[in-house]
Structure formats: C-alpha cells, structure tokens
Amino acid sequence: MEPVRPEFVPDPDASRAEMEALQREVAAAAVWEDDFDFAAERVSARGDSTLAEAADDSTERPLVAGVDQAFLEDRAVSVVVVRRGDEVVERAHAVTDLEIPYIPGLLSFREGGPILAAFAELDADPDLVVFDGSGRIHFRQAGLATHLGATLDVPSVGVAKGLLCGAPDDDLDERPEGWRTPIRADDSVENAADGTVIGHALQSRQYDTRPVVNPIYVSPGHRVAVGTAADLVERLCDGYKLPEPTRLADAYADDVKAEYA
DNA sequence: GCGACAG
DNA sequence: ATCTTGTCGC
C-alpha cells in the first residue's frame, strides 16, 4: 500500500514551522464524516458464529488493520496486522532508522515514515486502520491517525492511552465499562472552534472491584465521524482495554523486535 | 515565566 | 516508548 497523497508524507528534516504548516494542510484535507464502504455493524473483535454468516465472511466482513511499533535504540520496528473478523490475513513489518526524537504534537514526523515503510510491504488494502495514538485529538487536529490516514487515503481511527489535548465533558474517574464522554476542543486546539467534539474518552474495560482501569481516548483519523470512531473501537474491544487489532499488532511488534535485537 | 504534553 | 520482580486471580 502506497501513499495516495505523497505531498503529505511527513519529512523528519523539515523545520518545526514546516511540520506545523503541513499538519494544518492535512487537517484541512481530512474527512471527519463517515466515508467507508463497509457496514459498521460487521466490525467486531470476534468471528461470526453461525454457518450462514461464516459463509459470506470473505465478502462481507471488512479488513481491519492494527498498527503498532516497538523500538531498538535508534531504529523503529513498525508493523501492520490485517484481520477479517478474527482471522489474521496478512502481516507486514519494516525496520527503519529513526531520524528525530519524540516531540509532543509532532509524533507523525518521527513515526510516520517508519509506519509508511511497513505499509509499503503490505499487499492488502484495509477497509479501516486502527493507529496507536491520536487522530483529531491534536493541537492542529492532525495527529498520527489523521496524518497517515489522509496520506494513504484510508478510513482510520486513533486510539491513545493518554490525552494529548482537549477537555472531557465529565470526570473520568472510575466509570463503568461501556461509558464514554466527549472530548472537546479548547484553547490548545488552534484550528477548531471552542467546544467542538474532537474525540471521546471511552471506558473500554473496567473491573467490578480492585484495579481501576484508565479510559482510552478515541478520535477520528480520516473518513470516519467522531461518534462512529468510538462506536467502531468499542466493537473492536473484546473484553480488553485496547482494541484487538492493536493488541495483535503490539504482540507482533514484540516478536519482530526480538528477531532484530 | 509556568504548566501540559500521543509514543 | 523502554527499563523491570513479584504478585494476585481465573
């Protein structure tokens, strides 16, 4: 899979001002409305149970990809795992030199190139890509999921374990499983009107007692509406805090890393 | 100047 | 992200 918008490919050698300018362009080109050709109800972490549904598995179920990375000193191990239902249909990876350090707000310039290298090794073209990081929940609404989703022109969502910016409508403490609250743009988001819903905090997993689980932060990447992004990710969380595609990508990244260590 | 900050 | 032992529970 190659970039459909080469001009959006993040350049680690760009100046900070150029990076931010590109992010504004990406945000302006990003689509935050549903624009995908699969049924959201057909997205799930598990496979179909009935024979009738299993029969049309290959034609009806969308290809959902999970993307994650692991690191070796100054190299990144980037992986893409593609599934149809609960079946892994393809895995791709790339080991790339890292050019710049992690800077909040500029993550895609550090990890974007490496991730695109992994996509270049991928034959399948996914119906939906789940990235580990923010999408619209970003200072310029151009987080990793939005930047790479727009570059590849593929429907995408971002799932982050921490909140980069914006403010939740309600307190996030000890909420029940399935609970969600909007994340709205505040002064830190320069290109969105104050109060614009840019994502959701989603309590994807919670225990009845002891361990208090933190929520995940879901936001649209590209071609997915803010509410739909949360719906899709919720369907992909099979009793775990993180969606199954990213859990699989996580595990595969560790495997590949072990081979290069 | 102070605080906040995905992976 | 990564560095790390043990520990509680199904």
Q: What is the pLDDT of residue A117?
A: 98
Those residues whose C-beta lies under 8 Å from the C-beta of residue A51, and which sit 6 or more positions away, are: none
* Residue A195, both tokens: 């109060």
HSE-CB for A205 with a 13 A CA cutoff: 16
In angstroms, the CA A242 to CA A223 distance is 21
> With a 7 Å cutoff on the CB, does A255 touch strand C?
no
Q: How confident is the model at residue A106 (pLDDT cuts 50, 70, 90)?
A: very high
Bridge partner residues of A75 (DSSP): A72, A97
pLDDT per position as a tens digit, A185-237: 999 999 999 999 999 999 999 887 777 889 999 999 999 999 999 999 999 99
**Could you tell me which residues are beta bridge partners of residue A132?**
A159
Identify the CA nearest to A7 among candidates A153, A135, A129: A153
Domains and CATH numbers, chain A: 6-47+61-159+220-260 (3.30.2170.10)
- According to the model, what pLDDT value does residue A206 have? 86
A95 touches strand C (CB under 7 A): no
Verify if strand C has an atom below 7 Å from the CB of A69.
yes
Q: What is the pLDDT of residues A61-99, one digit of tens each?
A: 999 999 999 999 999 999 999 999 999 999 999 999 999
Residues A210, A183 contacting (CB under 8 angstroms)? no
A209 CA: nearest nucleotide by C1': C9
Through-space separation of residue A83 CA and nucleotide C6 C1' in angstroms: 35
Condensed to tens digits (0 to 9), the pLDDT of residues A119-130 reads 999 999 999 999
Distance CA A217, CA A195 (A): 17
Could you tell me which residues of A are annotated as the binding site for Mg(2+)?
68, 132
